[in-house]
Amino acid sequence: MGIAEKSYKYEETQSIAKGVMYGLERLNKVSADEPHIVDTEQYYSREIMDLEWGKFWKKVWVVAGRVSDIPEVGDFFTFDLGRESFLITRSSEDEIKTFFNVCSHRGNRLVEADYGSMPGGFTCIFHSWKWNIDGSLNQVQDQDTFRPEVLMGDLGLQEVRCDTWGGFVFVCMSDKAPPLHEFLNHAREHTDPYNVEDMRVITDILLELPANWKTGVDAFIEAYHLHAIHPQVLNVIDDRNRDVELYDHGMSLMQAPFGILSPRLEDQESLTEPLKIMLREIGLDPADYEGRAADVRPIVQATKRKIAEENGEDISRFTDQQITDDNAVFFFPNLAFNVHPEGALFMQFLPHPTDPQRFFFKVQILIHPLAETDAHKIPFYMGIEKGADITCKERPEREYELAPAETSALGLIMGQDVHLLDLVQKGLVSDGFEGMRFSEQEIRLRYFHEEIDRYMNDQKW
């Protein structure tokens, strides 16, 4: 079976039944269009960067952070997106509010910290103006020195539209955008069985990288590059046969069979070391399965169900595919979310405020909190460092990295991707490069760019 034929295979599951046929319809539509070359000016033009801000970024829902980071009234975190900064706070037990993170007196950035708690409200360090946690103005320092007409109007913090799903806080600067759940549509439905809202952050890294934010998205939502950049993963992932689903509003899903050898490998029978690790993690002896590499994935699926049943855990909501495989959901416009029953990898691509050839790459690992004695329940592919607080009682501090990939805390695989981004960005500005030519294996990239085009051509809200 060929790549394109296999890539577009659909299997209806209980969690995404509604989205399957719609995804197939959308996929056929995109595939039937005349092939085209994607222009590269959008990856380095300051003019296009400015247009994107007004036509695109100010109109979409974007993940700002986790609800679990603001459990108590007065807790807050900040989120930077391009030229803007947002202040997200729990203003009451059952309400979260988002404001532009700016003082209405002289424009100072009101809060600098990533996270914190200010139940008494927010005070500007420039001139001591104060606001309550609901955004209302509390105090104007030396108010008697201002003429009354200068202080006319609402001087409270300007509120920004926000909503939550899956334990994430989303923000949107447009009142015309559809409600969040409608925006996320079937991508949300696919992810719901994993109970993402119960996950907690165990790793939090932010890097500034020398590439456009779309260069980052392009690199992380296709698997065509695995055989070249990450040859080591061929020992545990089928990089050729992947199911793809495309949803409305630029969302998409790619399901990667995990626990199976790549068809690119000549030896399809011998157990590789990653397959042996998968067997050991669930208490099986790899020696009993030598020469049976193709059996590992179904054996792992069946054994995990058996273990869950013995422990009184209900995992009937998961299909066999969801138990083992990498389910890579792309939440348009800038979140690649690879989710498993045990946790998820969060990769967000944030535009630089002034330079179209730089972006911020936020990487988080989320897990379902475990007892200290249950570290063995976390699969090796989750990339959790030994000694990490798997109880998630204390949120880890965010790590800021400017180091090259070789010294990155991201690990080998992601470090390889990050290293490549610099090389790709340099090629995108070359006079010798005419534009992107996407294969059928890169259909998600084409769909991503087509959705951006709809915003840039004023075809969205």
Residue 35 has pLDDT above 90, yes or no: no
CATH 2.102.10.10 residue ranges for the chain: 61-173
Task: Give the span between the Cα atoms of 79 and 87, in whole angstroms.
Answer: 7
**Distance separating the N- and C-terminal Cα atoms of the chain:** 41
pLDDT band at 34 (very low <50, low <70, confident <90, very high): low
Contacts of 224 by beta carbon, 8 Å cutoff, 6+ apart: 439, 441, 442
Distances (CA, A) of 449 to 37, 216, 456: 11, 13, 10
Strands, sheet with 95-100, edge to edge from the N-terminal-most edge strand:
62-66, 168-172, 159-165, 95-100, 84-92, 75-81, 115-117
CATH 3.90.380 residue ranges for the chain: 3-43+187-258+325-456
Q: What are the two backbone dihedrals, phi and then psi, of residue 149, each rounded to the nearest 5 degrees?
A: -70, -20
Q: What are the two backbone dihedrals, phi and then psi, of residue 285, each rounded to the nearest 5 degrees?
A: -90, 115
pLDDT band at 409 (very low <50, low <70, confident <90, very high): low
R_g of the chain, CA atoms, integer Å: 24
Tens-digit pLDDT profile for residues 114-158:
999 999 999 999 999 999 999 999 999 999 999 999 999 899 999
Task: Give the span between the Cα atoms of 253 and 119, in whole angstroms.
Answer: 40
Give pLDDT, residue 24.
41
Task: Give the span between the Cα atoms of 280 and 378, in whole angstroms.
Answer: 12
53: Cα separation from own chain's centroid: 20
Residue 266 has pLDDT above 80, yes or no: yes
Give pLDDT, residue 26.
45
Task: Give the span between the Cα atoms of 381 and 371, in whole angstroms.
Answer: 19
Assign a CATH topology to domain 61-173. Answer: Rieske Iron-sulfur Protein (2.102.10)
The DSSP secondary-structure symbol of 349 reads E
Assign a CATH topology to domain 3-43+187-258+325-456. Answer: Naphthalene 1,2-dioxygenase Alpha Subunit; Chain A, domain 1 (3.90.380)
- Sign for the CA dihedral angle at 227, 228, 229, 231 comes to positive
Q: Which amino acid is at 396?
A: P
